[in-house]
Amino acid sequence: MPKVTIREERCKACGLCIHYCPKGVLGPSEKFNAKGYHPTEVKHPEKCIGCTICAQVCPDQVFEVYR
Amino acid sequence: MPKVTIREERCKACGLCIHYCPKGVLGPSEKFNAKGYHPTEVKHPEKCIGCTICAQVCPDQVFEVYR
Amino acid sequence: MSTETMKKVYSIPESLRNRPHHYCPGCGHGIVLSIVGELVDELGVRDRAVGIAPVGCSVFLYEYYDFDCVQAAHGRAPAVATGLKRANPDLFVISYQGDGDLAAIGTAEIIHAANRSENFSTIFINNAIYGMTGGQMAPTTLLGQKSQTTPYGRNPNTDGFPVRVCELLNSLEGPYYLERVCVATPQDRVKAKKAIKKAFTYQLEGKGFSLVEVLSQCPTNWGMSVLDSVKWVKEVMAQTFPLGVFRDKGQQK
Amino acid sequence: MSTETMKKVYSIPESLRNRPHHYCPGCGHGIVLSIVGELVDELGVRDRAVGIAPVGCSVFLYEYYDFDCVQAAHGRAPAVATGLKRANPDLFVISYQGDGDLAAIGTAEIIHAANRSENFSTIFINNAIYGMTGGQMAPTTLLGQKSQTTPYGRNPNTDGFPVRVCELLNSLEGPYYLERVCVATPQDRVKAKKAIKKAFTYQLEGKGFSLVEVLSQCPTNWGMSVLDSVKWVKEVMAQTFPLGVFRDKGQQK
Amino acid sequence: MGKKILMKGNEALGEGAMRAGMRHYFGYPITPQSEVAAYLSKHLPKRGGVFLQAESEISAINMVYGAASAGRRVMTSSSSPGISLKMEGLSYLVGSELPCLIGNVMRGGPGLGNIAPAQADYFQAVKGGGHGDYHIIVLAPTTCQEMFDFAVMALNLADKYRNPVMILSDGALGQMMEPVVIPDEVPIEEYDKSWALTGAKDRPPNVVNSLFLDEKELEEHNIKLQEKFKRIEENEILYSEYRTEDAEYLFVAFGLVSRIVHSVVDLARAEGIKAGLLVPKMLWPFPKDRIAELAEQCRFLMSVEMNSGQMVEDVRLAVNGRRPVYFYGRMGGGVPAQRRVLEELKSHIEGGTK
Amino acid sequence: MGKKILMKGNEALGEGAMRAGMRHYFGYPITPQSEVAAYLSKHLPKRGGVFLQAESEISAINMVYGAASAGRRVMTSSSSPGISLKMEGLSYLVGSELPCLIGNVMRGGPGLGNIAPAQADYFQAVKGGGHGDYHIIVLAPTTCQEMFDFAVMALNLADKYRNPVMILSDGALGQMMEPVVIPDEVPIEEYDKSWALTGAKDRPPNVVNSLFLDEKELEEHNIKLQEKFKRIEENEILYSEYRTEDAEYLFVAFGLVSRIVHSVVDLARAEGIKAGLLVPKMLWPFPKDRIAELAEQCRFLMSVEMNSGQMVEDVRLAVNGRRPVYFYGRMGGGVPAQRRVLEELKSHIEGGTK
Amino acid sequence: MADKVGTVEFIIAGFGGQGVLFIGRALAFAGLARDVNVSFIPSYGPEMRGGTANCKVVVSDGEVGSPIVEEPDVLIAMNRPSLERFVNTVKPGGTVFVNSSLIENEVERGDIKAYRVPFNELAREAGAERVANLAALGAYVASQDFFTLEDMEGAVKEMVKGKRVELMEANLKALRAGYDFVRNLA
Amino acid sequence: MADKVGTVEFIIAGFGGQGVLFIGRALAFAGLARDVNVSFIPSYGPEMRGGTANCKVVVSDGEVGSPIVEEPDVLIAMNRPSLERFVNTVKPGGTVFVNSSLIENEVERGDIKAYRVPFNELAREAGAERVANLAALGAYVASQDFFTLEDMEGAVKEMVKGKRVELMEANLKALRAGYDFVRNLA
Ligand SMILES: Cc1ncc(C[n+]2csc(CCOP(=O)(O)OP(=O)(O)O)c2C)c(N)n1
Ligand SMILES: Cc1ncc(C[n+]2csc(CCOP(=O)(O)OP(=O)(O)O)c2C)c(N)n1
Ligand code: SF4
Ligand code: SF4
Ligand code: SF4
Ligand code: SF4
Ligand code: SF4
Ligand code: SF4
Ligand SMILES: [Mg+2]
Ligand SMILES: [Mg+2]
C-alpha cells in the first residue's frame, strides 16, 4: 500500500499539500511543531495512492513517498 | 548670386563638403591653417547654387551660405 | 507494509542538504529548490555543479544545495557565473536570481551575459516583488499592485511598466533558450521541471545561455493566503507574463 | 553682390557656441551637433534646454551647446536626465550618449528610463566603437570588426553579438518613439534631422521617452578615410543595424 | 512648540528632510534603511514631491545628481553595500559642487555581511571612499530626534557649501523608535542657486561639470575645493561633551555607541573613576582641536566604536602623541556592552598609561 | 637572465601578471590604463587565457569574483572613476577571502577629472573605499620594471593571504616606456586552493560567501580577517631608502613622485642640505616602524604627493608627534617640480621646525 | 497608579508571528502618552517568516541612555527559545512572563519573579489565538502600578486604528484576560 | 661616435598627426640598443584628433630619476604652439630644433642653440609630407655624437617592421635628409 511519511519539524503549514492531494489524505494537526506551526499530518493513510503530488508541491521537502 | 563663406580656421579637411557639393565648387587649399590642416576653399564661386549641402554635411560648422 | 520493503518514490534530493530552509510558508522558492535538487541528481552533475546564490530571499541557497556554491553581490550573479564558467568550463553553473536582482540592479549583467551567450543556466524567480527586503516594488510588479514603495499602487506614469524579461532577452541574438513557467499547481510544476531540465541539458551540451523564468508566489509580501497566492499567479500574474517558450534554438533545427 | 544684401540661408546655429570643437575630421558627432543646434533654434527652446554631455567623444558638448548643460558620469545620462526632468518638468532635456556609454555600462539606466517612459529625448550615437578611449570594442561593434580589444576581430562566441538598441528597447512598453538613422549623405542628414525633430516635439508634448539612434562614422578608430567611413556606414554597418522607425506611438493613433 | 510623536529613526530622517524642503527622493531598497523609502513613498506624493525607486543605487545617486543640478533639495539613502556603489557618483557630486543629502544606515560588513548595526563605513565616509581628493560633511546622529534635526541641518549645510552631506547612522538608530518633536517651523536656510540649471533665459548658460582636461584647470578647481573644505573645517564643528570638566579618562564615541558609553561614564563615576565622554556629532570636519585640548587634561583617551578601529585614527591625529589613545571595538553587528567597556577602561588604568 | 625590452608600464603590468600565471582578465576600457587591456587582448588568447571586455567595471570585478572562486589567478584593471565603481565588489572579495589582482592607474579627480597622473586614490586604496572593515595589500611601483615585478608579487601575495592585492600606479607610470627585464623564470608561489569551487567531488561542498547573518558569526569572521591583516602587517613591509643614513630631513614619497624627490634629494645634498628619502613600495601595510625610527634622527619629515595630503596622515600616525611632518602636494594631474619641492623643503628649514 | 516609572528595561521575545514587536510598541506608545521617555528597538531580521523576533524597550523618567537593553528588568518570553536565550540576562529582582501555553520549562532562577501565564489559551478564549501577545501585555500591566489598563487600551486603540479593526475586540479582550489572570494570582 | 651620453633630456612637441611620439620612441629604442638607460613618456590625451601632442625622453648612462622632463636639453618643436610653450624651459646651453616649414618665429633666447630646419619640405622631397618627424630626428642626430645615423636607422626599421613598410623608404630618406641638412649647416 502506498504511503507517505512526514518530517513534521520541517512543515510550515502552508496547506499546499492538503489542497492538492487528489485523495484528501492530508490535514492540519492540532499540535505545534518546534517552529510554532500546526504541521500537516496524514489523516487517511488508507486513501493514499503514492502519486507524489504532495511531495512535489511541498516547498519544504517534508514528504517521503513509498510505493 | 548664391555664395558660401568659409571659416577656414575651423576646417579639418575632412573632405565631406568637397565630396558632396553638387557643383564642384569646393577644393582643398594648399596652405595650412592654425590647426595644421589644408582647409577647404572656394575654387569656383561662380558655380555655387546656395544649396547648403556643404554646410549641412560639414561636421565643423565651417560654412555660411547666402542666397 | 513497512517502508523498508517499499520503493521510495520521493524523498529529499541528494543534492540538497537535509536541513530546513527559511522560506516563508508556501513560497515558490521552496518548490523550485526541490526541482533543482531533483535535476542535479537526475543529471548526475552534483560533483561538478556550482550554485550561485543571489541577494534576495534565496540568498542562503548555499546552505540548501549540497554542492559547491558562491554567494554573489546583488544583481551580479550573471557576472559571477561568467567568471566561473570562463575560468573553468567543466563546471556546471546554476545561476539563480530574483526579479529585483535580475531585472533592476542587474539589468546590464543579465543582458550582456545573455548577449554573449555565456554557457550557464539561469533560473529567474519572478515574484513581482522584492521579497527579502520586505515587499518593495520590483521591476515586475504589476500595474496597480500595492507594495511598500508603491503604497498607492504601481502607476505606469511614474513607476514604469512591468518588465517582461523573456521578451526583453528575446530581442537579443545570444540566448539559446528562454521559457516562462510557474509552480502554482502540480501540473505547472511538471512543466517547470521540464523547462529547467532543458536549460541544464543545453548547458551540458555547450549550447550557451538559457533562462527559465518562474512565476513564483510570495504570499508574505502579497499579503495573501498561500492558496490565494497560487490562484493569483495563474489568474492575474500570467496575464501580464504569459507562460510559454520564447526561444528554443534547439527546436529550430 | 555683397553678403549684406543677401539672405543668410545657413550659418552656425545660435544655440551653438561659435567655437571650434575637438571632434576628428569627418566625425559624425560634428554633424549631429549641428542638427541639435538647428532644432533647438527652430523649436525656440534654447532658454529652457538642458543638454547632457556623456562620457565619450561628446564629453565636451557643454562647451559647444550655448545653453545650460550638465556632464554625466559614464553611462548614467538617463539617470541624470530623469533627475533633472523629475525635478523640473519645464526643462527641455536633451540626453546624448555613445554606444559604449548607452549599451554597455549604461544598459540598466537606459532600459529603465525607457521603461518608465521618462519624458526626455535621447540621441544615441552608434559608431560601433569606443571612440574617446582609443578604439576598443563597443557592444555595437560588428562581428569580425577589429578593435583595440578585439585584435583578431569580434568573435560572437567570446565577445557576443552586436547589440541592437532600438530593437532591444522596442521590446519594452515604455518608449514612445524609436528610430534609427544615419548621417552619411546629405539625404540621410535630412532624415536624421526629421527624426530628432520628432523626438524633441514629442518631449515638448509630454509624450514620454524617445530615442533616435544615429549610425555615425568614426574614421579615426575605424582606420578609414572619411569618405570610406561614410560608405561603410551605408554599405556595411546598416546591414547589422537596419535604418527605420521601430516605434512611433504618435503614428499609431 | 511642535508635536511629539513616536517615530522610527529612518522615518524621522525622511520627515526631517521633507520639512527642510526636500521634495525629490531617489533610492533603492536595502535593509536596514527601507523605512526611509517606505515613509517617503507614502508622504512625498502628498506634499507634491517625487518619490522614485531607481533601478539601482548607482542610478539613484545619478538621479540625485540630475535633480541637484536643477537646484532642488534632494536626497537618497541606502546602507553599506549600496553606499559603496555610490562612490563614483559621490565623487562626481563633490567635483561638480552639487548639494544633496545621503543617508547611510550602516550595517555589518565587509561584503554582504549582515543587517545588524555597525560603524565600519567611517573611513569610507570621512576619508573618501570615492576617487580623488574630496570631502563630504558627515553628520552622526545619536537619537531619533537627531535623525530629524540633522536631516534639516544637512540640507542647509549642503546648500550653503554646495557639497554633499552624509548622515551616517546605523541599523539600530534607523530601526529604533523614540519620541521626536516635530517643530511647527523648521529653519530652512536659503542660499544662492544661480548656478542651477533652470534654462539659460536672460543669463549666460550654466554648466554643471567635473571635467577639467587641462591639468592647470583641474588643479585650480581642486584648490578651490580645498579652500572650501578648509572653510567648512573652520566653521562647522559639532560635538557634545559629558562630564569632561574634570575627566581624567576621555572616551570618544559617536552615534549609537555614544549612548552606551554615556551609561559607562556613569558606571565609572559611580566607582570613583573620573571618566568623561566627547561625542563628535560631525565626523568630518572632526572636532580635533577640542580633543587636543582635552587630551592635555587627561591621562589617556579611548575610542569606542562598532568597527575594527577607524575613528581612533582621527583621535590619534588630533592628540598627536600627547597621550595614549586606546581603542575598544566590536565588529559585525556586535554592540559594545557597558560592563565590557568599563572593564576595558579599567584594564588600561591598571596597566598604567604605557 | 631574461631579455630586456622597451615596454609601457601598462604593458609591463599585463606581462608580469601573465608570467605569474594570470590567465583570466576582465576589464572595462578607461584612460590611462587602456594599454593593459589592449596588450592582454592580444596576448592572453595566444597563451590559452581568457580576455573578456566586460560591460562595465562592476561586471568586471564580479567576473573576477567568479573566476577567483574557481581558484584561478585573475585580474582586472581600471583607473580612478572605474575603481570607485568596484568598491562594493572589492569589499565582497575581501569578505569572501578571494585572491585577485586589481590595477588602478590613477588619474586626476574628483569626478570625471582628467586623465593626467595623480595619487588621489591613496585613501580609497589604503583606508578602504568600500564598506566594512577590510584591508587590501597595496603595492606602489615606481618604474616600468616594478610594474612587471609587482604584478608577479601581487599574484603571489594574493594567493598567500587569500586577499585582493592592488597595484596603485598612475597615468604617467602606465603610459611611460622604459626597458624592462623579463626573466626567463618567474617565481610563481603555489598555495593551497582546496577552498576553491571545483565541484564537490570526493569532498564536502565548498562555499564562497561573505554573508553571516548571525552577529556572532560575522564578528568571528571579522576577527579572523583582522588576524590575517595583522599577520600581513607583520610579514609584508616593503620600502626603499635613499641617503637616509645621515638624513636630517626625511622625504616620504611613493610611486612616480618618489623619482622626482629622488632627484630633489640630490639637488638638496648638492647645496649641503642633508635630505633623505623613504619610498614605501607597499602602502598597506605601511612601513610605519621604519618611519618612526628614522623620525628619531631627523629634524622633520615631509611627505610629497600628487594629492591634497593623504599618505601624510599615515606618516603622522607613524611619527606620532615626535617630529613635525610637513606636506607638499600637487593636485589634478600637476606633477611636483623638483625646484619647487626643494624650495618647500628650504622654507621649512628656514621657518624653523615649528 | 504611580507618578514615576523610574527606569524600566524590557526584552520581549518570541516567534516571528507572535506579535512581540506589537507589545514593545504598545509599551512605547503608552509611555509617550504618559509623558515619560521611551525607546523601542526591534531585532529586525530578513526573516519576515517564522524565525524568532525580539524587541527592547526602555521606559524612563530621565533621558534614555543606551536603547540596547543588555540586562532587562522585565522579560516577556512568548516561546521556549526566547526564554532560554534571555532568562539569564534578567536583572536580579526582575520579572519574567512565561507563555505557559508553549513553554514547559520552569524558571530556575530564584532571584527573579516569574509569572507563568497561558497566553495562547487566554487569547483563544478571547477570540483569536494570534492575540496572545495582548494577553502578555495585560499580564505585565497587572504586575506593576505605573501603567494602567486604560493606558494600554489607549495605546492599542491608537495602534490598530484603521487596519484590522475587526481584531480590536479580541485584542482588548485578550489584554484584559492577561491582566485578570495575573491579578487573580495575587 | 661617443661612448657615453651623459644625461640628455628631450621634449618633442607638435600637432597630433605629426608623429612626435614616434621620434621619442625612436630615441628610446636607439638608446636601448646602445645599452644606456632610457625613459619615454607621452603626453597622452583623449585627443586622437589634431590637437597637440608631446613626449618626454631621457637618455642616460646612469639611472633615470624623474622621467618627467621639466627642463630639457633638447627641444624639437614641430609647430608654432609647441615652440612657444616649451622654448623657455630649455636648459641654458641646450638645443632647439625648429620646424621652419611651419614656424616663422625666430628663437629669441641667446643662451641656447637653435636649428631652423624645413622638416615638411625635406619630407615632401623624401616622398611624403607625413614623415617630417623623421627629418627632425635626423637633424637631431647630426647635432651630436653619441647616436649615429645607423643607430637611428636600426631603431626606425625595428619600429616600422610589419606595418606601413611602404613608408619605410620615405622614412629613411627623410631621416637622412634632416641629418644632411644640419651637417651641411656646419
Ligand atoms: C547593493 C545592494 N543593494 C540592495 C540590497 C538589498 N536587497 C537585498 S535582497 C534585495 C531584493 C530582493 O528582491 P528579489 O531580487 O526580487 O528577490 P526575492 O527576495 O523577491 O526573491 C535587495 C534590494 C543589497 N543587499 N545590496
Ligand atoms: C566609469 C568610467 N569608465 C570608463 C571610462 C572611460 N571612458 C571614457 S569614454 C568611454 C567610452 C566612450 O565610448 P562611447 O560611449 O561609444 O562614445 P564615443 O567616444 O564612441 O562617442 C570610456 C569607456 C570613464 N570615464 N568612466
Ligand atoms: S502521495 Fe498523493 S495521494 Fe498520497 S498523500 Fe501525497 S498527494 Fe495524497
Ligand atoms: S506542503 Fe509541505 S510545508 Fe506545506 S503544509 Fe504541506 S507538508 Fe507542510
Ligand atoms: S552651397 Fe551647395 S553648391 Fe554651394 S558650395 Fe555649398 S554645396 Fe556647393
Ligand atoms: S566638411 Fe567642413 S571640415 Fe570637412 S573639409 Fe569641408 S569645410 Fe572642412
Ligand atoms: S518573502 Fe516572499 S519570496 Fe521571500 S521567502 Fe517569503 S514568500 Fe518567499
Ligand atoms: S574618435 Fe571617432 S567618434 Fe571620436 S571624435 Fe574621432 S572620429 Fe569622432
Ligand atoms: Mg522578487
Ligand atoms: Mg562609440
- Chain F residues touching residue D73 (CB < 8 angstroms): 81, 111-112
Three-state DSSP class for C177?
strand
pLDDT of E108 > 50? The answer is: yes
Q: Which residues of E touch G (CB under 8 A)?
A: 4-6, 31-32, 115, 171-172, 175-179, 256, 259-260, 262-263, 266, 335, 337-339
Residue with cell 506593576: G144
Query: Which band of pLDDT confidence, cut at 50, 70 and 90, is reported for residue D253?
Result: low
Query: Which band of pLDDT confidence, cut at 50, 70 and 90, is reported for residue F55?
Result: very high
Contacts of F16 (CB under 8 A, 6+ apart): F147, F148, F149, F150, F151, F152, F186
The answer to whether the CB of B14 is under 6 A from ligand 6 is: yes
Query: Which band of pLDDT confidence, cut at 50, 70 and 90, is reported for residue G105?
Result: confident
Residues C63-77 have a mean pLDDT of: 98
List all residues of chain H from 40 to 59 with a beta carbon under 8 Å from chain B. 50
Ligand 5 mean position, distance from CA B26 (Å): 8
What is the rounded distance in angstroms from the CA atom of residue A21 to the CA atom of residue A29?
16
What is the rounded distance in angstroms from the CA atom of residue F295 to the CA atom of residue C86?
50
What is the rounded distance in angstroms from the CA atom of residue C126 to the CA atom of residue C162?
11
What is the rounded distance in angstroms from the CA atom of residue E62 to the CA atom of residue E82?
13
**What does DSSP say about strands E100-106 and E164-170: parallel, antiparallel, or unpaired?**
parallel
**What pLDDT sits at residue H16?**
80
What is the rounded distance in angstroms from the CA atom of residue E33 to the CA atom of residue G44?
11
What is the rounded distance in angstroms from the CA atom of residue E208 to the CA atom of residue C233?
47
**Are D and A close enough to touch, i.e. 3+ CB pairs under 8 angstroms?**
no
Query: Which band of pLDDT confidence, cut at 50, 70 and 90, is reported for residue H47?
Result: very low
CA-closest candidate to residue F285, choices F250, F317, F329, F242? F317
pLDDT of E353 > 50? The answer is: no
Domain count, chain B: 1
pLDDT of F353 > 50? The answer is: no
> E51-74: buried (b, 16+ CB within 10 Å) or exposed (e) per residue?
bbbbbbbbbbbbbbbbbbbbbbbb
Residue from D145, D149, D152, D221 to probe the interface with F (highest F Cβ count within 10 Å): D149
Q: Which residues pair with E249 in a beta bridge?
A: E275, E300
pLDDT of H48 > 50? The answer is: no
What is the rounded distance in angstroms from the CA atom of residue H141 to the CA atom of residue H177?
11
**F272, amino acid identity:** G
**What pLDDT sits at residue A3?**
96
Architecture of domain E3-189+210-235: 3-Layer(aba) Sandwich (3.40)
E336 touches chain F (CB under 8 A): no
- For residue F188, the 8-state DSSP code is P
**What does DSSP say about strands F50-53 and A63-66: parallel, antiparallel, or unpaired?**
unpaired
Ligand 5: residue of B5, B6, B23 to mutate (most ligand atoms within 8 A of CB) is B23
Q: Which residues pair with H9 in a beta bridge?
A: H58
Residue A10 domain boundaries: 3-66
Helices (H), C44-144: 61-64, 77-87, 99-100, 107-115
Identify residues whose C-beta is under 5 A from ligand 10, the ion. D 98-99, 127, 131
Mean pLDDT score of chain F: 97
The bound ligand whose nearest atom lies closest to the alpha carbon of E37 is 1
Q: Please report, for the domain that includes residue H15, its CATH number.
A: 3.40.920.10
What is the rounded distance in angstroms from the CA atom of residue G27 to the CA atom of residue G5?
12
Instruction: Note the ipTM here.
Output: 0.97
Ligand 3 mean position, distance from CA C232 (Å): 24
What is the rounded distance in angstroms from the CA atom of residue E57 to the CA atom of residue E60?
5
What is the rounded distance in angstroms from the CA atom of residue G185 to the CA atom of residue F130?
57
* Phi then psi dihedrals of residue E229, to 5 deg: -60, -40
For the beta carbon of residue C63, count every other beta carbon within 10 angstroms: 17
Q: Fold match between E3-189+210-235 and E240-350?
A: yes
pLDDT of E1 > 70? The answer is: no
H79 touches chain B (CB under 8 A): yes
The residues spanned by each domain of chain D are 21-251
**What pLDDT sits at residue D193?**
98
Share of chain F above pLDDT 90, in %: 97
Q: Are G72 and G94 in contact (CB under 8 A)?
A: yes
What is the rounded distance in angstroms from the CA atom of residue E24 to the CA atom of residue E44?
8
Mean pLDDT score of chain C: 96
What is the rounded distance in angstroms from the CA atom of residue H186 to the CA atom of residue H180?
10
Q: Are F132 and E117 in contact (CB under 8 A)?
A: no
CA-closest candidate to residue F252, choices F315, F166, F296? F315
> Hey, what CATH topology would domain D21-251 get?
Rossmann fold (3.40.50)
pLDDT of E232 > 80? The answer is: yes
Report pLDDT digits (tens) over F270-280.
Answer: 999 999 999 99
Mean pLDDT score of chain E: 97
**What pLDDT sits at residue G168?**
87
**What pLDDT sits at residue H164?**
64
What is the rounded distance in angstroms from the CA atom of residue C160 to the CA atom of residue D112?
8
A5 touches chain C (CB under 8 A): yes
Residues F172-193 have a mean pLDDT of: 96
* Phi then psi dihedrals of residue D53, to 5 deg: -95, 125
Helix or strand holding residue F129 (H, E): none
Query: Which band of pLDDT confidence, cut at 50, 70 and 90, is reported for residue F164?
Result: very high
> Which segments within C59-186 are labelled E, that is strand?
68-71, 92-98, 121-126, 177-182
Q: Are F353 and F299 in contact (CB under 8 A)?
A: yes
The three three-digit cell numbers of residue E343, written as one number: 572593564
- Chain D residues touching residue F57 (CB < 8 angstroms): 105
Residues E179-206 have a mean pLDDT of: 97
How far separated are the first and last CA of chain H, in Å rounded? 17
**What pLDDT sits at residue D5?**
77
Q: Is residue G63 assigned to a domain?
A: yes
Report pLDDT digits (tens) over E262-306.
Answer: 999 999 999 999 999 999 999 999 999 999 999 999 999 999 999
What is the rounded distance in angstroms from the CA atom of residue E176 to the CA atom of residue D183?
60
Contacts of C54 (CB under 8 A, 6+ apart): C61, C72, C74, C75, C77, C95, C96, C97, C98, C101, C102
Q: Are E155 and F160 in contact (CB under 8 A)?
A: no
CA F106 centroid distance within chain: 10
Domain count, chain G: 1
The three three-digit cell numbers of residue H185, written as one number: 649647416
Report pLDDT digits (tens) over C91-114.
Answer: 999 999 999 999 999 999 999 999
The three three-digit cell numbers of residue F227, written as one number: 588576524
Query: F240-350: which CATH number, 3.40.50.980, 3.40.50.920, 3.60.20.30, 3.90.650.10?
Result: 3.40.50.920
Residues E33-51 have a mean pLDDT of: 98
**What pLDDT sits at residue H160?**
84
Helix or strand holding residue E253 (H, E): none
Mean pLDDT check: name the lowest of D88-97, F323-332, G126-135, G159-168: G159-168
pLDDT of D1 > 50? The answer is: no
Share of chain F above pLDDT 70, in %: 99
Share of chain E above pLDDT 90, in %: 97
Q: Are C117 and C104 in contact (CB under 8 A)?
A: no
Residue H143 domain boundaries: 7-185
Q: Is residue H2 assigned to a domain?
A: no
Q: Please report, for the domain that includes residue B38, its CATH number.
A: 3.30.70.20
What is the rounded distance in angstroms from the CA atom of residue E14 to the CA atom of residue E8?
10
Ligand 5 mean position, distance from CA B20 (Å): 8
The answer to whether the CB of A21 is under 6 A from ligand 4 is: no
**What pLDDT sits at residue H46?**
55
Share of chain B above pLDDT 90, in %: 85
**What pLDDT sits at residue H2?**
85
Contacts of H124 (CB under 8 A, 6+ apart): none
**What pLDDT sits at residue G47?**
44
The residues spanned by each domain of chain E are 3-189+210-235, 240-350
The three three-digit cell numbers of residue H45, written as one number: 590625451
Report pLDDT digits (tens) over C147-199.
Answer: 999 999 999 999 999 999 999 999 999 999 999 999 999 999 999 999 999 99
Q: Which residues pair with D181 in a beta bridge?
A: D214
**What pLDDT sits at residue D2?**
58
Report pLDDT digits (tens) over D105-138.
Answer: 999 999 999 999 999 999 999 999 999 999 999 9
Report pLDDT digits (tens) over H95-134.
Answer: 999 999 989 889 999 999 999 999 999 999 998 888 999 9
Query: CB within 6 Å of ligand 1 — which residues?
Result: C 55-58, 74, 98-101, 125, 127, 129-133, 138; E 28-30, 57, 81-82, 85
What is the rounded distance in angstroms from the CA atom of residue C48 to the CA atom of residue C88?
10
**What does DSSP say about strands C177-182 and C210-215: parallel, antiparallel, or unpaired?**
parallel
pLDDT of E231 > 90? The answer is: yes
Report pLDDT digits (tens) over E48-77.
Answer: 999 999 999 999 999 999 999 999 999 999
Report pLDDT digits (tens) over E309-347.
Answer: 999 999 999 999 999 999 999 999 889 999 999 999 999
CA distances, F327 to each of F237, F282, F300 (Å): 23, 20, 11
Report pLDDT digits (tens) over C2-61.
Answer: 556 789 999 999 999 999 999 999 999 999 999 999 999 999 999 999 999 999 999 999
